[in-house]
Structure 1
Amino acid sequence: MTTMIKTVDVTTALSDVDRFCDIPNARISGEIFHRQDIYEQELEKVFARCWLFVAHESQFKKAGDYIATTMGEDDVIVVRQKDGSHRAFINACPHRGNKVCFSESGNARGFICNYHGWSFDIAGNLIGQHESGIYENSHFDASKWGLREVALIDSYKGLLFANFDADAPSLKEYLGPMAWYFDALFDNQEGGTEFVGGCIRSTMDCNWKIAAENFVGDILHAGWTHDSAARAMLGGAVAKVSDFDESYSVNWHGHGYEFAMDTVGNVAVLGESALNKYLHTIKPSVAERLGDFRSNMIGSVSSATIFPNFSFLPGQNTIRVWQPRGPNKIELYTWVLVNKSAPEEIKEKWRKGAMMTFSPTGVFEMDDGENWEYCTKTARGKVTAKQDLYVGLGQESLLQETDLPANVYSGQLNEANSRAFYQFWSDLLKAPSWNDVPNRNVGRVEAGAAAERCSLKEAK
């Protein structure tokens, strides 16, 4: 019998959250990128109770297949069970706390602690110990000392998320109407998606929020930061985001997606015409499956973050998790996502394209890493950290009359998603429990209702 993590202790609180995160006045403070006490609260109130991405179902082929990862700074193991389900456990022996799994992935019949030989099956049950006979005479109940199980685990379109807080909303509720947009990448073809290649791991000396917020809605930096790299990849001039006829910034409870309707803008910078052709080839079937609107999103100039730290780039098809390693450091996990039904040569071109653009030596990632690290380093200054940082673009751009789901803003050159990201972050830090998190979407559409209307409208 495993031990279930049932609750999360979030009793301590910061008294000055509003001072350094004042979203109604479009300002945040650099303090949030450096203070150790803020970071400790994030581990407790964000990472210990939000849904966190842990694996993709394609990484598990048979019972006993496992992925070792982290949720915040907690090491966990995700294991496929004999019935095909997945369970997640704290990667720590309940005897003295030593790790029971040291490899990143593999297949195992169970896990054994190096320290005292406690062994566990793939369901987390304690099944043996070194010198097991001595436990028989000490009133020891092995059924109570299995691996501690993460409270919740669920999947969305092949993506596995886990949650330490048994009282959290369901994954479906957590994603809300934003799932309608996510399907443009995760469910645009029959058969779903898979990861190709392995996990690329790298570190950056930056705060996790800077990276997550960049993907939640900061297309503004691309035309400046990435201009030379994009020109090199395209062999000429790069389109201006401000010239797009139609683009949006969409958010819900900290999640955000900014996108144009140009179909292939992101994939174009990979420099592979075959990928452009592939997207145009599947576009009619995407329109039949998801509607015309989302068929224009599949490889467009866009980026997204599922709060708090799971981000992706459609078209470039890189999936990333910004794993926190202190207020001034992240470990970045990166994968390449493809449609299972795509030809093998197309999958390989996407894998190589990701290596050229968003990998430790990628032409775009080096640009971003330098910026993010210096944004973090400046926050170490006692005076500099207290200056206001502006997040006010697009404050009057909310679309009140739209059939699109969630909170929809006109234009990508807009900081609406950044404001929503930091507001939700602030709300979590101030809330003792999920029931205390404000519903700042009251008055907007209910989850799924507008998406259904939009789909019906497109079907006609």
Structure 2
Amino acid sequence: MSNIIKTVDVTDSLENLSEFCDIENGRISGKIFSDKAIYEQELEKIFARCWLFVAHESQIPKTGDYITTTMGEDEVIVVRQKDGGIKVFLNACPHRGNKVCFAESGSTRGFICNYHGWSFNTAGNLVGQHESGIYEASDFDKSKWGLKEVAQVDSWKGLVFATFDPEAPTLKEYLGPMTWYLDALFDNQEGGTEFAGGCIRSTYECNWKIAAENFVGDILHAGWTHDSAARAMLGGAVAKVSDFEESYSVNWNGHGYEFALDTVGNVAVLGESALNKYVHTIKPSVAERLGEFRSNMVASVSSCTIFPNFSFLAGQNTIRVWQPRGPNKIELFSWVLVNKSAPDDIKEKWRKGAMMTFSPTGVFEMDDGENWEYCTKTSKGKVTGAQDLYIGLGMNTLERQTDLPGNVYKGQLNEANARAYYQHWYDHLNAKSWSEIPDRNVGKAEVE
């Protein structure tokens, strides 16, 4: 690979996108983190097409319970229906487009627009307006002017996803064999999971992909970026990831999960011995439920991103969505996940531990935020942004003889998941519809 600096312009048609994403040779360009034309295409071909995480069912347990969130830059309302189902609507009145709900969460019998008094029930139907007589005189048909509903809504193990695209595959197909691994966090105990406390919102001046890629498989940074914080939380020496006897990087259609089988590595850095004890206490029942292999994943050194922007750290139990706010800014929505069956004191220790480590003032998150912001800022340079960035670690580590589902690679210190993530990103930007997105998977799709 040449070290000669190149300058290449990005056009609105993105005809030369291949200049910035050469996965076969382990190369991307920093330009993909700052270019406005690329970002606009991402909103259209990724965020308006893919399944996006919008809520956990525990946030809206009763009829009329709702939260507001975003899908890309589109604001939406997620609301529990009378029949127990969940609907997702654009948070925009179909009269002039004003927001109909300004609260982050609550319980209601309906939504009313502040501008002209249009009111909607929780099923999204328009049920009344201010000065309704003038509408009747205009042969106005209420049934045609309800809140706009997204194309599909579905849930898996308490996680609620939605998509604007009626042609998107089912959620089960979208997640594919990754669900086998996700069970280690989201279904390791009877009764499932819930969010403890509310949503933590913060902003970073970085591109959304940098943060998502960090969780899809970048354990490499942890031993350097987080070394001092980990030593402080653990009160001494920190194990090297390279010393783990068994670890993996697994991906499928852009989703990626890197993990060791050390059982409690992530939870240990929360600084609460009671949490370590809890994980070891439930391990036998997890093994009975999911098998010995996944019982070692429950709180291990690990991270995951479900394409495009839903991530988590098992053990630390921070759940997060990287909400795009332009090519150079994100709004981070994060929550703390706990087992419903866990004792209340354990839930509270998890919440406090997550606040100390992965929150805007957390000892680990401050490290990450600074790195992500400077990666984005350098990419704005005309010359700097066009330089090659290396993502070639672990090029020849695919496990071809394995019973594990998905595309399985040896070791966590591996950029296979990052390559798969950017390849899927590239494929979406180059496709006019789902049918044009190539299947690049080589592993097992079946989940036993």
Q: In the TM superposition, what whole-angstrom CA distance separates every residue of 1:104-127 from its partner, at most 9, and x where no partner exists? A: 000111000000000000000000
> How far apart in 2 are the matches of 1:77 and 1:13?
33
Superposition pairs of residues 294-373 of structure 1, within 5 angstroms: 294-373=294-373
Superposition pairs of residues 200-215 of structure 1, within 5 angstroms: 200-215=200-215
> How far apart in 2 are the matches of 1:154 and 1:13?
33
Please say if residues 298 and 315 of structure 2, whose CA atoms lie closer than 8 Å, have aligned partners that are also in contact.
Answer: yes
> How far apart in 2 are the matches of 1:59 and 1:400?
41
Please state how far the C-alpha of 1:444 moved relative to its aligned partner. 2.8
Query: What residue identity is the alignment partner of 1:332?
Result: L
Partner of 1:129: 129
> How far apart in 1 are the matches of 2:135 and 2:280?
65
Query: What residue identity is the alignment partner of 2:428?
Result: L
Query: What residue identity is the alignment partner of 1:326?
Result: G
Partner of 1:9: none
Q: 1:176 to 1:13 in 2, by over 3 A?
A: farther
Is 1:192 aligned to 2:192, yes or no?
yes
Partner of 1:224: 224
TM-score scaled by length of structure 2 = 0.97
Query: What residue identity is the alignment partner of 1:315?
Result: G
SS in 2 for 1:46: helix
Please say if residues 13 and 430 of structure 1, whose CA atoms lie closer than 8 Å, have aligned partners that are also in contact.
Answer: no
Superposition pairs of residues 53-452 of structure 1, within 5 angstroms: 53-441=53-441, 443-445=442-444, 447-448=445-446, 451-452=447-448
Q: In the TM superposition, what whole-angstrom CA distance separates every residue of 1:76-105 from its partner, at most 9, and x where no partner exists? A: 000000011000000000000000000000
Gap runs ≥5 in structure 1 = 1-11, 453-460
Q: In the TM superposition, what whole-angstrom CA distance separates every residue of 1:384-435 from its partner, at most 9, and x where no partner exists? A: 0000000000000000000000000000000000000000000000000000
Number of matched pairs: 437
Runs of 4+ in 1 over 4 A off after TM superposition: none
> How far apart in 2 are the matches of 1:440 and 1:61?
39
Please state how far the C-alpha of 1:264 moved relative to its aligned partner. 0.1
SS in 2 for 1:167: coil
Query: What residue identity is the alignment partner of 1:49?
Result: R
Please state how far the C-alpha of 1:13 moved relative to its aligned partner. 4.8
Please say if residues 13 and 429 of structure 1, whose CA atoms lie closer than 8 Å, have aligned partners that are also in contact.
Answer: no
Please say if residues 249 and 409 of structure 1, whose CA atoms lie closer than 8 Å, have aligned partners that are also in contact.
Answer: yes
Please say if residues 199 and 334 of structure 2, whose CA atoms lie closer than 8 Å, have aligned partners that are also in contact.
Answer: yes
Please say if residues 218 and 413 of structure 1, whose CA atoms lie closer than 8 Å, have aligned partners that are also in contact.
Answer: yes
Query: What residue identity is the alignment partner of 1:201?
Result: R
> How far apart in 2 are the matches of 1:17 and 1:287?
46
Please state how far the C-alpha of 1:61 moved relative to its aligned partner. 2.2
Please say if residues 248 and 259 of structure 2, whose CA atoms lie closer than 8 Å, have aligned partners that are also in contact.
Answer: yes
Q: In the TM superposition, what whole-angstrom CA distance separates every residue of 1:33-72 from its partner, at most 9, and x where no partner exists? A: 0000000000000000100000000011211100100000
Please state how far the C-alpha of 1:14 moved relative to its aligned partner. 2.0
The percentage of aligned residue pairs carrying the same residue is 79
Please say if residues 408 and 443 of structure 2, whose CA atoms lie closer than 8 Å, have aligned partners that are also in contact.
Answer: no
> How far apart in 2 are the matches of 1:209 and 1:119?
38
Please say if residues 202 and 360 of structure 2, whose CA atoms lie closer than 8 Å, have aligned partners that are also in contact.
Answer: yes
Gap runs ≥5 in structure 2 = 1-11
Please say if residues 320 and 334 of structure 1, whose CA atoms lie closer than 8 Å, have aligned partners that are also in contact.
Answer: yes
Query: What residue identity is the alignment partner of 1:356?
Result: M
